Amino acid sequence: MMQSLARGLVRFEIPALTAIYLYFVISDTVPLAAWILLALIWLARAWTTRQLIAPTAFNLPILVLLALLPINLAVSVDWSLSLPKVSGILLSVAFFFAVATQRDRDAAQLWLAIACGMIALAGLIGTDWAQSKIISASFIYDQLPRAIQNIPRSLAGGFSRNGVGGTLALTIPFLFALIITKQNAGEKSPLPPRPPALRRMFVIASAFALSLGTLALTQSRGGILGTLVGLLAVALWRERRVAWVIGAGALALIAGIALGYGDAISAFVLRMDAGAGTFASRLEVWSRGVMMVQDFPYTGIGIGTYNPVAHALYPFFIAAPDEVVAHAHNNFLQVAVDLGILGLIAYTALLTVFVIGAMRAYRAQPDARALIVGVFAGMLAHQTFGLLDAFMLGTKPGVLMWLYFALVAAMTNYHLPRTNRQ
């Protein structure tokens, strides 16, 4: 009976994590009872499978990141900013190990597509559309419902449009890869696809369309740029002649710079989340991040505390004293600022393992190539977005990155014996 109860707890892990994470999104906290439940699930898994965590190539950098968190909290100047990020990392790691043991690829594709659609819907009804935009279209924004409000630590009560854009950069290339793949059921048969395949494609296509529409409404330059890079990567995978389009775009960019439009191009790219963004202001933000890494190379400043530390120790000249500058506007720099050099090494190792794992899985599993290309293109889009913006580790939408890590881990472990996997 105890064995059956333990197995039931393990099967309940992903639904439990989902419920806890949704509560975390709206409350910024994780109840003690939730942590106890997750601990019981992990103990049940250790008892039933004889292993506490799945053996993956991601484990070492993950353990390094986890080991840095207590030190990071100890040096943080504001636990109200750091604790939510730490909770986000812990829940994301729990999702990673829960998903990395899954075997049903079709179910993984479907549920992830549903999650992508829900993210786009949440962005549509919960984004603060009053922020600065490229094109004014109040006749559209005024009609959009605002069903999600009072988001913790939100400047205007809703989601940041740039944050929503950066999240959709992760999801849209993934959905696009699933749509254009030719490995759907019935492709090699003269018979039409079976109803389950049609329903799955309808869900994926609907999530893709909703995501594109929400991204367009965000007018997030970073999100659009990252998404475009991801879509081009998927298109290049399906059709090599797309390389000519990429080459022509590169030549047009070089020609624009040569003709004196370099300042206009850089201004458009740099003004991702602020109407007054300039190259000088972005350099100022980056320089403060570099100073922080130089001064706190081993511990970081405390995850999520860039704004108070910068204003207190490294005052801005362009940004106003009361202006909130939430992060260092670069993914890699932000990790180093938050967690120190060792944290940056661990983060880079995660991405390196991801790329190597995706390449190995692509060669070993031809029937799963659309899924692998999709998560790779999504990660590429996200990191492109992160060149001039940032998703701090522990940021709530950042759990998607960990799900992508988990999918690659599951793909690379797919042929391991059953005794080595859950």
Flag whether 4 is in a domain.
no
**pLDDT for 141:** 74
**pLDDT for 187:** 42
Flag whether 332 is in a domain.
yes
127: phi then psi, degrees, rounded to nearest 5: -85, 145
Q: What does the radius of gyration of the chain's CA atoms come to, in whole angstroms?
A: 22
**pLDDT for 182:** 53
Is residue 190 very low, low, confident or very high in pLDDT (cuts 50, 70, 90)? very low
In this predicted structure, the answer to whether residue 19 has a pLDDT above a threshold of 70 is yes
Flag whether 67 is in a domain.
yes
Tokens for 347, please give them.
Answer: 């983060």
Q: How far is it, in rounded angstroms, from Cα 63 to Cα 56?
A: 12
Q: Which domain holds residue 210?
A: 53-420
Q: How far is it, in rounded angstroms, from Cα 298 to Cα 103?
A: 39
Q: Tell me the three-class secondary structure of 353-369, residue by residue.
A: HHHHHHHHHHHHCHHHH
Lowest mean pLDDT among 116-125, 182-191, 211-220: 182-191
Give every CB contact of residue 381 below 8 A, 6+ residues apart in sequence.
Answer: 169, 170, 172, 173, 226, 227, 229, 230, 231, 233
Q: For residues 328-348, give the mean pLDDT.
A: 94
Flag whether 330 is in a domain.
yes
Lowest mean pLDDT among 10-14, 235-239, 253-257, 360-364: 253-257
Flag whether 407 is in a domain.
yes
In this predicted structure, the answer to whether residue 268 has a pLDDT above a threshold of 70 is no
- List, for residues 366-390, the tens digit of each pLDDT value: 888 888 999 999 999 999 998 878 8
Tell me the residue type at 246: I
Q: Which residue has the higher pLDDT, 146 or 419?
A: 146
> Are residues 406 and 100 in contact, defined by beta-carbon separation less than 8 angstroms?
yes
Helix (H) or strand (E) holding 404: helix 399-412
> Are residues 214 and 123 in contact, defined by beta-carbon separation less than 8 angstroms?
yes
- List, for residues 225-250, the tens digit of each pLDDT value: 899 999 999 988 887 777 777 777 77
Is residue 67 very low, low, confident or very high in pLDDT (cuts 50, 70, 90)? very high
Burial class (CB in 10 A: 0-12, 13-18, 19+), 382: buried
> Are residues 172 and 374 in contact, defined by beta-carbon separation less than 8 angstroms?
no
As a dihedral over the C-alpha atoms of residue 304, residue 151, residue 161, residue 310, rounded to 10 degrees, the angle is: -20
Structural domain tally of the chain?
1
**pLDDT for 136:** 66
**pLDDT for 153:** 65
Is residue 267 very low, low, confident or very high in pLDDT (cuts 50, 70, 90)? low
Flag whether 5 is in a domain.
no
Flag whether 19 is in a domain.
no
- CA nearest neighbour of 407 among 26, 44, 54: 54
Flag whether 43 is in a domain.
no
